[in-house]
Copies of this chain bind each other. A is one copy, B any other.
């Protein structure tokens, strides 16, 4: 599925993948910044808790976002693919100024929502400027962008090898590994900013000198020479278009 084309004149909305286990009570930097991007005091947030098996997930986020000052919050659950075609819910969704997918079972989310009118609506809303955040791998099924491959709980579970394998199949994408309580705030101009308490590992295979991916026998190890790797902390950025990292505010703070 390809990403929706940006509507003429409109800027694409922020895309905000979250690395799992984001801080919700004491210092919810990620959730706060999402509310601000969705309009702050004017925010109308649609929470989609479909990935979660716990029925209290939706109401919990409703309360959290309301406490942070959002004007309206509604939890929209989709238990069947037919739910995801229902006009009244779609209308409610389209009124939102920010969409938030909760964490949980990714397969459940893509099975119930992938390819439905809900997925299409979210893509169109994002193309028109609405920020979409989620404690989920946002790519599969939703198709917001094909620029990157996301992995979560990244350094907590030491998953670089897994991300590299995914990239070997799709070397033009950028691999983004999110630590827990860490989100990539991807701006309309495709700059990755870091929010939260951890770091973001960026794996860029665009300048690979050699790959044996096309000739390797099954089961044999792939050879991949010249991958670039950056670990971003808060203040540093990476542009997905130019593939350039920048230490940003971290350089000044060293003085």
Give chain A interface residues in 216-255, CB to chain B under 8 Å.
Answer: 216, 220-236, 245-247, 250-251, 253-254
- Cα-based distance from A222 to B227 in the complex (angstroms): 20
Q: A158-B158, A245-B209, A254-B212 are in contact. Are A233 and B226 (CB under 8 A)?
A: no
Tell me whether A32 is interfacial, beta carbon within 8 Å.
no
Q: Assess the B245–A226 pair: CB atoms within 8 A.
A: yes
Residues of chain B within 8 A of A161, CB atoms compared: 154-155, 158-160
Q: Assess the B158–A253 pair: CB atoms within 8 A.
A: no
Interface residues on A, range: 35 or more
* Chain B nearest Cβ from A106, distance in angstroms: 19
Q: Assess the B226–A230 pair: CB atoms within 8 A.
A: yes
- Cα-based distance from A226 to B247 in the complex (angstroms): 11
Tell me whether A210 is interfacial, beta carbon within 8 Å.
yes
- Cα-based distance from A129 to B230 in the complex (angstroms): 39
Most buried by B among A160, A212, A222: A160
Q: Assess the A223–B210 pair: CB atoms within 8 A.
A: no
From B199, B220, B222, B223, give the contact of A221 (CB < 8 A).
Answer: B199
Tell me whether A37 is interfacial, beta carbon within 8 Å.
no
* Chain B nearest Cβ from A224, distance in angstroms: 4
Residues of chain B within 8 A of A210, CB atoms compared: 236, 245, 247, 250-251
- Cα-based distance from A209 to B248 in the complex (angstroms): 12
Q: Assess the A223–B199 pair: CB atoms within 8 A.
A: yes
Q: Assess the B228–A245 pair: CB atoms within 8 A.
A: no
Q: Assess the A235–B215 pair: CB atoms within 8 A.
A: no
Tell me whether A179 is interfacial, beta carbon within 8 Å.
yes
Residues of chain B within 8 A of A250, CB atoms compared: 210, 212, 215, 223
- Give 14 A-B contacts (CB < 8 Å), ordered by A residue: A155-B161, A164-B231, A179-B221, A199-B222, A203-B229, A210-B247, A212-B247, A216-B233, A221-B231, A223-B247, A224-B230, A225-B245, A225-B246, A227-B229
